[in-house]
Amino acid sequence: MFPNHRPRRLRTHPQLRRMVRETVLTTNDLIYPLFAVPGEGIAKEVKSMPGVYQLSVDKIAEEAKEVYDLGIPGIILFGIPEDKDTDATGAWHDCGIVQKAATAVKEVVPDLIVIADTCLCEYTAHGHCGYLEVGDLTGKVLNDPTLELLKKTAVSQAKAGADIIAPSGMMDGFVQAIRVALDDAGYQDTPILSYAAKYASAYYGPFRDAAESAPQFGDRRTYQMDPGNAREALKEIGLDIAEGADMLMVKPALAYMDIIWRVKEASNLPVAAYNVSGEYSMIKAAALNGWIDEQRVVLETLTSFKRAGTDLILTYHAKDAARWLQ
């Protein structure tokens, strides 16, 4: 006798499929990354990331208005300074590029959530995420002195109007250091979105073109996580929660959905995933060659991140996805 249960019964009509869909992607899930550069009237496409641009502050403000009008609730800002030095001055200076961009965006669209990426690699002459020993050519960042730079950076970003501080350098104790600094400066209500499980990934390649942040020597494996480790991610998120993180991020997303799931199961905090540049560029390249249906692949990919446990998705597909979802 044929089984009584026929799962295909609930797939017979588009509306029926929509009614029983377990995971629903909306524009509320999306955060759009933006890259700010000095100057005016600048919109320079990133060669390895079709459709993504380095933008001057005036163009960032215009882009933020478009993002808001599409129903996307937030952006994350990265900066490319005019000058780089060993003290990452452009990261924490009150007139830094991210600070200028944050202020400009809040003036134009005050209800758009502005997240500031709180890292130093774009601002150091060597491209690493903090201080190095004099003469060091391995890229082993000095952890505790770097925390002082991160504290100054976070406070200056909050002062400029950033709604959320997102430290991404994977320094030990960076959440606690930033939390104390923000509280002491009067920003007790500014949340921290910690890049809690950030892997030393080859998927970051195109981003380094966009942010001009490639290390001049060595690599970042002494501070970013080994791709083979899963239990370590739970250790990292546990430390960040204890230090005061309000939200947690897993980066990258596509090859790390098992980590997203583990983090979601282990925590009651909102979980973000960064759909990174290499993931974006692979889809874009395939779409431009006519090998895939871009809309279907993008929405399926973003939905899979949410199904794995993400509450927030940082993605360069955000504007396209918002239009398609409408």
Do 276 and 203 contact (CB within 8 A), yes or no? yes
- Are β-strands 113-118 and 74-79 bridged in parallel, bridged antiparallel, or unpaired? parallel
11 annotated ligand binder: no
Please report the DSSP string for 158-222 in residue order: HHHT-SEEEE-S--TTHHHHHHHHHHHTT-TT--BEEEEEEB--GGGHHHHHHHT---SSS-STT
Cα–Cα distance, 42 to 82 (Å, whole number): 14
The response to whether 62 counts as a known ligand-binding position is no
The answer to whether 119 is a known ligand-binding residue is: yes
Is residue 206 packed enough to be buried (19+ CB in 10 Å), middle (13-18) or exposed (0-12)?
buried
Omega prior to 252 cis, within 30 of 0? yes
Amino acid letter at 106?
Answer: K
Q: Which residues pair with 115 in a beta bridge?
A: 76, 164
The answer on whether 316 is annotated among ligand-binding residues is yes
Please identify which of the residues 59, 151, 152, 198 carries the catalytic annotation.
198
Catalytic residue chosen out of the listed positions 100, 151, 251, 284: 251
DSSP strand pairing (43-45 vs 53-56): antiparallel
| 251 tagged catalytic | yes
User: Is 235 labeled as catalytic in the residue annotation?
Assistant: no
208 labelled ligand-binding: yes
Residue 195, annotated ligand binder?
no
Is 95 one of the annotated binding-site residues?
no
Q: Which residue has the tokens 């933008």?
A: 55
Q: Which parts are annotated binding residues?
A: 119, 121, 129, 208, 220, 236, 277, 316
Active-site residue list: 198, 251
Q: Which parts are annotated binding residues for 5-aminolevulinate?
A: 208, 220, 277, 316
